[in-house]
Amino acid sequence: MKEMYKIIRKPIISEKAAVQKDKQNKYHFYVSPDANKIDIKRAIEQLYQVKVIDVNTSRIRGKKKRMGVYEGIRPLRKRAVVTLKSGDAIKLVTG
């Protein structure tokens, strides 16, 4: 069970994600950069007890950021857009 929480980092709550959730039954998550689509599908199905139809992923490269003379790079992130079977839903807590 712990491994699934390492794969699925956190849900993405945004306007675009909310519209796709309502109209197309798609949910957005930040996932581990090492996870593949099969791992993501299994983790979502086991954590939320839903049927996943499709998983789309995209890698977000970290940007260079500077504060004064100090330079750093934001970490690499990976986003997964998960399509669920019609009738299934994931209850996300929005603040």
2-84 topology per CATH: Alpha-Beta Plaits (3.30.70)
| 43, 1 contact by CB (below 8 A) | no
Q: What percent of the chain has pLDDT over 90?
A: 89
pTM for the predicted model, two decimal places: 0.86
Q: Label residues 17-33 b or e (16+ Cβ within 10 Å = b).
A: beebbeeebbbbbebbe
- Tell me: pLDDT of 95 over 60: no
Nearest-angstrom CA–CA distance, 2 and 13: 23
- Tell me: pLDDT of 94 over 90: no
- Tell me the per-residue pLDDT of 39-84, one tens digit each, with 9 for 90 and over: 999 999 999 999 999 999 999 999 999 999 999 999 999 999 999 9
Nearest-angstrom CA–CA distance, 79 and 63: 16
Average pLDDT over residues 7-17: 94
Q: What is the mean pLDDT of the chain?
A: 93
